[in-house]
């Protein structure tokens, strides 16, 4: 079921155009959308515009109003010495002890021991958990998470996102996640919105986009002089500078590559879901650059 359709959207800060969407984007019930792009691409601006936090011109239609949308912003600061329990109760205007739904979310995120602490005593991961609890308690039809794991160590990031994914499993609410950690998105989202320099590069099912921009299956190895020399005869697609990526369109090519990597003892990855390489190729294709 359609929640929102963006037919056009333009956001300007003075003379600077931060976002200029001309393509139709539809967000549906149950969607799990990853929003990717470089710093300053317009990802957060897109989320803020839909939430009514920044002004825009254009046409947005659908069942939802800005008040039906929740957003977790990258920076969420509270008074350092304020007790965590009090912050949650004040923001949500409820009593934790008397609110079974809130207690359920707190227990789900193993946050009960943190209620006795002051905000300054929380770790980075615990602060993010607190904000997530506040967001989930709003139970909105559409929720944006903006860099929810930014600045956290790898283990904390993984555990936190696993809990968020578990919470939303089977739920109808749509979720849009903005993140530079592509591995997190690969495990959670089914659609991708790719933004570059304020423009929409592509939006579709993630598998379809990988097929479109990366040929469906790729082999990936480390980029070094030896590997470049050994694989110079094979077709490559765009990749981050530390990697070499090979599109696999024929079984014979795949076997030849695999045999080469095994014989030369080269570590390699076979994948049909690598959002970082997908992003690089989508940008290249949009610019009409042949790689």
pLDDT tens figures, 266-281: 999 999 999 999 999 9
Element (H, E) at 8: strand 2-13
Domain topology for 217-271: Alpha-Beta Plaits (3.30.70)
Task: Tell me what percent of the residues of the chain surpass a pLDDT of 90.
Answer: 85
Render pLDDT for 12-42 as a digit per residue (tens, 0 to 9): 999 999 999 999 999 999 999 999 999 999 9
Task: Report residue 169 as tokens.
Answer: 């499993």
Top mean-pLDDT range of 182-186, 189-193, 285-289 = 189-193
Structure tokens at 116: 């006795």
∠195-199-200 over CA atoms, to 5°?
55
Q: Per-residue confidence at 263, pLDDT binned at 50, 70, 90?
A: very high
Q: Identify the pLDDT of residue 151.
A: 80
The Cα–Cα gap between 84 and 88 comes to 6
d(CA 4, CA 15): 28
Label residue 60 by pLDDT band (50, 70, 90): very high
pLDDT tier for residue 150 given thresholds of 50, 70 and 90: confident
> With 80 as the cut, is the pLDDT of residue 289 above it?
no
Edge-to-edge strand order for the sheet containing 142-146? Answer: 69-72, 142-146, 174-178, 32-36, 191-196, 199-205
For position 79, what pLDDT does the model report?
A: 85
Domain map (residue ranges) of the chain: 2-209, 217-271
Average pLDDT over residues 128-157: 91
Q: What is the pLDDT of residue 1?
A: 87
> What pLDDT is stored for residue 245 in this prediction?
97
The pTM of this model reads 0.90
- Can you point out the beta strands (E) in 56-166? 57-62, 69-72, 142-146
17, 22, 28, 30: CA torsion to nearest 10: -50
Whole-number average pLDDT of the chain:
93
What is the spatial distance between Cα 37 and Cα 201, in angstroms, rounded to a whole number? Answer: 10
- The neighbour count for residue 52, using CB atoms within 10 Å, is 13
* pLDDT at 291 (0 to 100): 39
Give the model confidence (pLDDT) of 208-227 as tens digits: 999 999 988 999 999 999 99
CATH architecture of residue range(s) 2-209: 3-Layer(aba) Sandwich (3.40)
**CA dist., res. 60 & res. 75, Å (int):** 27
Tens of pLDDT, residue by residue over 126-142, are: 998 999 999 999 999 99
What pLDDT does 103 receive? 96
Asked whether the predicted pLDDT for residue 85 surpasses 80, the reply is yes
pLDDT tier for residue 288 given thresholds of 50, 70 and 90: low
Give the residue from 233, 229, 216 showing the smallest Cα distance to 281: 216
> Tell me, what DSSP letter sits at residue 189?
-
Work out the average pLDDT over 103-128.
93
């Amino acid at each position: 079921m359609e929640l929102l359709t963006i037919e056009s959207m333009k956001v300007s800060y003075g003379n600077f155009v931060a976002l200029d969407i001309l393509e139709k984007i539809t967000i549906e019930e149950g969607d799990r959308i990853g929003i990717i792009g470089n710093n300053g691409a317009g990802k957060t601006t897109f989320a803020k515009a839909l939430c009514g936090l920044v002004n825009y011109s254009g046409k947005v239609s659908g069942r939802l109003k800005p008040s039906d949308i929740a957003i977790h912003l990258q920076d969420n600061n509270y008074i350092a010495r304020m007790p965590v329990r009090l912050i949650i109760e004040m923001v949500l205007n409820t009593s934790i002890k008397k609110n079974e739904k809130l207690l359920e979310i707190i227990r789900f995120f193993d946050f009960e021991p943190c209620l006795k602490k002051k905000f300054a005593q929380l770790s980075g991961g615990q602060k993010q958990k607190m904000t997530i609890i506040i967001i989930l308690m709003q139970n909105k039809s559409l929720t944006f998470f903006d860099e929810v794991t930014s600045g956290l160590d790898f283990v904390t990031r993984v555990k936190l996102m696993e809990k968020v994914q578990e919470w939303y499993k089977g739920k109808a609410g749509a979720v849009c996640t903005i993140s530079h950690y592509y591995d997190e998105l690969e495990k959670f989202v089914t659609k991708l919105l790719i933004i570059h320099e304020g423009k929409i590069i592509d939006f579709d099912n993630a598998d379809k986009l990988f097929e479109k921009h990366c040929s469906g299956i790729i082999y990936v190895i480390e980029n070094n002089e030896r590997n470049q020399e050994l694989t110079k005869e094979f077709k490559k697609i765009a990749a981050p500078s530390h990697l070499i990526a090979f599109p696999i369109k024929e079984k014979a090519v795949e076997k030849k590559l695999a045999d080469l990597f095994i014989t030369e003892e080269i570590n390699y990855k076979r994948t049909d879901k690598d959002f970082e390489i997908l992003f690089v190729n989508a940008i290249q294709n949009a610019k009409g650059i042949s790689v």
